Structure 1
Amino acid sequence: MYEKVSRLDRLRSVREWLVWQLRRTDDTIAELERQEIAAARTARTLPSVTPGWKLATRRAGGKPTPDAVHTSDCGMAGKNTKPLAREQALRAITEDGVTVCPYCRPDTDLGVL
């Protein structure tokens, strides 16, 4: 049956398929461009993120005790953490004697040196 179709008809079929593929590719490119524009617009309108802090705790005698203060993006804090406001982080470091992480140095962001 394949031999009964002329070469010209086969080429037209291939051309139609290529046009369809090109249309799909153009649609995908247009969608990705829209997503990039939306992401850039969102990045421009979002306020800058101020560094947050978190308190890492450890279990001592079955009761969690403060271990160290970390910046919110520090990966060294471990799993047992709780978020802290600026004032809480300052109090933990200056009044409660909680140590600071030697890697992320939250005391630098807090202005405590």
Structure 2
Amino acid sequence: MSRTGTPLVMSQLPPDPARLRVILAHLERQIAENETVGLYLRLQRDAVVAALADLDRLPRGRSRRVAKGGGSLPGFVPPPVQTGYVVQRERTPSEPAPALIHVADCGLVVGACRPIRADEARAALTDSTVEPCPSCRPDTELGIDVA
């Protein structure tokens, strides 16, 4: 608002082309950077409209209320949460490679692996033929020092 009480509008733009080009570039950048937000908001709006349409189809007096915190975003499926530890064995033609113990959700697990409990991982890491993954460091998470 100006001091006279009239709202500031875009007609109060600077008169010179250089500043107008800077403003235009800024506005175009903001539109491009916020396109994702606009898409997300449109998806959420569509989900709300669909939920209202579903509720309108239900007989009066019946509600399909979801417990607080019991719902999720439409179309969002969270990845399965893996807990615990896994042992990975690599087979080589010349000699057996040491087994690796990983935290279950480690991104460096390659090939087949077998889930194990924390106590099994602790015991395995005391064996000289088993090593902790240098990335996810299960030994640190288990509170043991493998030296």
TM-score by length of 2: 0.43
Change (3 A) 1:26 1:110: same
Shift of 1:28: 5.1
Shift of 1:58: 0.7
Residue identity over aligned pairs, in percent, reads 28
Matched, 1:26 2:58: no
Change (3 A) 1:28 1:100: farther
Task: Give the 4+ runs in structure 1 shifted more than 2 A.
Answer: 22-25, 27-31, 33-37, 60-67
Matched, 1:70 2:99: no
Partner of 1:112: 144
Q: Secondary structure at the match of 2:99?
A: strand
**Any conservation in 1 of the 2:82–2:105 contact (CA below 8 Å)?**
no
TM-score by length of 1: 0.54
Task: Name the structure where helix makes up a greater proportion of residues.
Answer: 1
Q: Secondary structure at the match of 1:77?
A: coil
**Any conservation in 2 of the 1:55–1:66 contact (CA below 8 Å)?**
no
Given candidates 115, 125, 137, the residue that maps to 1:93 is 125
Q: Secondary structure at the match of 1:75?
A: coil
Gaps spanning 5+ residues in structure 2: where? 1-47, 57-62, 73-80
Distance 2:49 2:93 in 1: 66
Cα-to-partner distance string for 1:17-63 (whole Å, 9 max, x where unaligned): xxxxx9755245899x73874248xxxxxxxx894110011112399
Q: How large is the Cα RMSD of the aligned pairs?
A: 4.0
Tell me which amino acid in the other structure corresponds to 1:93. L
1:38-57 correspondence to structure 2 within 5 Å: 38-39=70-71, 51-57=83-89
Gaps spanning 5+ residues in structure 1: where? 1-21, 41-48
